[in-house]
Amino acid sequence: MAAIAVIGTGYVGLVSGTCLADFGNRVTCVDSDAGKIESLRNGIIPIYESGLEDLVRANVRAGRLFFTTDTARTVRQSDAVFIAVGTPPRDDGGADLQYVESAARDIGRAMENYTVIVDKSTVPIGTARRVRRWVEEELSIRRAGVPFDVVSNPEFLREGTAVYDFTHPDRVVIGSESEKARELMKEVYRSLYLNETPYIETNLESAEMIKYASNAFLAVKIGYINEIANLCEKVGADVQDVAKAMGRDGRIGAKFLHPGPGYGGSCFPKDTRAIAAAGRENHSPLSIIEAAIAANEKQKTAMVEKIETGLGGPGSLNGKTIAILGLSFKQNTDDMRESPAIDICRNLVKKGARLRLSDPAAFAEAKWRLADIEQNCFYAENEYLAAEGAHALAILTPWNQYRGLDLGRIKSLFSNPKTGPDAKTARPCFFDFRNIYKREDVEAAGLAYWGVGK
Ligand SMILES: NC(=O)c1ccc[n+]([C@@H]2O[C@H](COP(=O)([O-])OP(=O)(O)OC[C@H]3O[C@@H](n4cnc5c(N)ncnc54)[C@H](O)[C@@H]3O)[C@@H](O)[C@H]2O)c1
């Protein structure tokens, strides 16, 4: 089995490293964040990811998984070095490659024997060749003629189901120009290869493009169903029936047809912007992706407008208390990067609302990400405490515990409903922005129901 280094021990690096160790490889995860490595050495997992803690412990115990800050030593002991550092967006939308460059140069400074360098991070098309140049520059400074290959091996795991996704991928993509490197990658992924997981072997540029084109396609699909949902509301259609029927069409597929408050997370927003920037740089406009990016921004604003309308129209948010259920960009993760909750919370506060926030995992992140509005935020221990004294409740993330709320109890905890001529505004409002409730059930509890697209 191969000796592997993974540089960058975040969501992707830690999950990939742990699963590759579970496949039988000897894996050392490296990170420049000494605190993170120290925690991992003490068995503390820095991220919320189902099944990960047990898998880390089991592989550490089996002597297959190690954590260190010593990149040079680890690189020297490895057959393959995975680069899994962050590639955050620059101001112009393109990907910031400073961490990839720094990892590549660290490898070039340390490497002593033939090494396969694997780009696991999501990177713009052409990056594998730039990695090669950065490594060559460092080797030439050392006057060292160490042979190496660069492979592009994009990752498709989803936060929340990352361990399952890594161990049951729909496909493994290997972009490479070297037979020797391809053989080593087969060794690294031997367990999957034996399970007949589809292997797509292609050139470097195609592998890099596959990742961006896939993520952008999914983002477009979400943007599409969100816009269809908004039209459904205007014309009296129910988007859930529409999406269900569309999804039965094998050419369309049922996944990613769930309307909501807009996509977020560490991937879709940045990857759509990065591929759109590549389109502009190469004079090959990606107008559909550009439109999806704009539609996603509008969707977040539309949710705030919906709450304002529900509470009585323009100005009605002033002085109101809104319970927010869910802050992470999706369920089963603590990750709030580009979560729609951030913009929605800020805009609600801008319009004069106070917020009572609930989330089972994201508070630590929320407290610094929403520090600018902290005076208007109360962090509630659970969803019922969040509803206490609120005028409305909005579900932003479909965590399981929000799917079976005691609606009668929620109603009793709400602030006394104001009375008025409009029946809609006379009742406290329940904004189900993930469409996880039936209108009848919510209305039967005496709450006004607002979904997305129905
Ligand atoms: N998060 C996801 O769901 C997901 C899925 C697929 C692909 N990706 C891609 O994978 C890459 C990593 O994403 P992530 O979410 O794991 O990021 P992350 O921010 O969680 O982790 C990156 C880690 O790299 C470390 N790091 C940065 N520079 C380093 C260096 N020179 N040496 C050692 N460590 C260094 C950081 O300290 C951090 O711990 C990105 O390109 C992302 O687009 C992410």
365-415 confidence digits (pLDDT tens): 999 999 999 999 999 999 999 999 999 999 999 999 999 999 999 999 998
Q: How far is the CA of 103 from the centre of ligand 1 (A)?
A: 11
CB of 10 within 6 A of ligand 1: the answer is yes
> Which string of DSSP letters, residue by residue, matches 313-336?
STTTTTT-EEEEE--SSSTT----
**Segment holding 5, helix H or strand E:** strand 3-7
Residue 254, both tokens:
């049922």
Nearest CA to ligand 1 atom 24: 8
DSSP 89: B
At residue 418 the predicted structure's pLDDT band, cuts being 50, 70 and 90, is low
The residue whose CB lies within 8 Å of the most ligand 1 atoms, and thus the one to mutate among 11, 48, 156, is 11
Among 267, 345, 377, 429, the one annotated catalytic: 267
CA distances from 60 to 18, 153, 157, 158, 201 (A): 9, 25, 22, 24, 32
Supply the residue whose CA is at minimum distance from atom 18 of ligand 1: 10
Tokens of 65: 């998984």
Whether 266 is in the pocket of ligand 1, judged by its Cβ within 6 Å, is yes
Return phi, psi of residue 352, to 5°.
Answer: 100, 5
Structure tokens, 213: 């084109």
Helix axes of 340-350 and 287-310: crossing angle, nearest 10 degrees: 40
User: In terms of Cα–Cα distance, which of 405, 404, 406, 410 is closest to 428?
Assistant: 410
Atom of ligand 1 nearest to the CA of 158: 3
**Among 362, 306, 373, 374, CA closest to 338:** 362
Which atom number of ligand 1 is nearest to the Cα of residue 122? 41
For the record, the structure tokens of 2 come out as 């191969």
pLDDT at 146 over 50: yes
User: Could you give the C-alpha distances from 55 to 10, 38, 41, 158, in angstroms and in order?
Assistant: 15, 18, 14, 17
Q: How far is it, in rounded angstroms, from Cα 34 to Cα 36?
A: 5
Ligand 1 pocket, residue 11 CB under 6 Å: yes
Mean pLDDT, the chain, integer: 96
Q: Cite the DSSP H helix spans in 236-372.
A: 239-247, 268-281, 287-310, 340-350, 363-369
Pocket residue to mutate for ligand 1, from 18, 31, 270, most atoms within 8 A of Cβ: 31
Q: Is the pLDDT of residue 424 over 90?
A: no
Q: Indicate if ligand 1 lies below 6 Å from the C-beta of 398.
A: no
pLDDT digits (tens, 9 = 90+) for 205-264: 999 999 999 999 999 999 999 999 999 999 999 999 999 999 999 999 999 999 999 999
Report the separation in Å between the CA atom of 20 and the middle of ligand 1, taken as the mean of its atom positions: 17
pLDDT tier at 416, thresholds 50, 70, 90? low
Residue with tokens 């391809």: 182
Under 8 Å between Cβ of 120 and 154: yes
Establish whether residue 33 lines the binding site of ligand 1, counting it when its CB lies within 6 angstroms of any ligand atom: yes
From 7, 12, 159, 267, the mutation candidate for ligand 1 (largest count of ligand atoms within 8 A of CB) is: 12
Tell me, using a 6 A CB cutoff, whether residue 100 lines ligand 1. no
Cβ 107 under 6 angstroms from ligand 1: no
- Could you tell me the residue ranges of all domains in the chain? 3-202, 215-450
Atom of ligand 1 nearest to the CA of 266: 1
Sole residue written with tokens 């969040």: 386
What is the residue with the minimal CA distance to atom 7 of ligand 1?
155
CA of 171 to the centre of ligand 1 (A): 21
Residue 74 Cβ < 6 Å to ligand 1: no
Q: Is 267 a catalytic residue?
A: yes
For 321, the token pair is 């208390």
- pTM for the whole thing? 0.94
Task: State if residue 14 touches ligand 1 by the CB under 6 angstroms criterion.
Answer: no
pLDDT surpasses 70 at 131: yes
pLDDT in tens, 21-32: 999 999 999 999
CATH topology identical between 3-202 and 215-450: yes
What number of CA atoms fall less than 13 Å from residue 78's CA on the CB side?
32
Give CA–CA dist 141/217, Å, rounded.
Answer: 42
Instruction: Give the residue among 20, 49, 294 at the shortest CA–CA distance from 158.
Output: 49
120 Cα nearest atom in ligand 1: 10
Identify the band that residue 303 occupies on the pLDDT scale cut at 50, 70 and 90: very high
Q: Is the CB of 30 under 6 A from ligand 1?
A: yes
Cα(241) to centroid of ligand 1, in Å? 38
Residue type, 176: S
Asked if the model's pLDDT at residue 417 lies above 80, the reply is: no
* Segment 123-152 mean pLDDT: 97
Please tell me the distance from the alpha carbon of residue 195 to that of residue 204, in angstroms, as a whole number: 25
pLDDT band for position 141 (50/70/90)?
Answer: very high
Among 130-134, 196-200, 368-372, the range scoring the smallest mean pLDDT is 196-200
3-202 CATH fold: Rossmann fold (3.40.50)
pLDDT of residue 196: 86
> Which structure tokens are listed for 12?
């992707």
- Calculate mean pLDDT across residues 101-123: 98
What's the CATH class of domain 215-450? alpha beta
pLDDT of residue 426: 57
Question: 193 or 19: whose pLDDT is higher?
Answer: 19
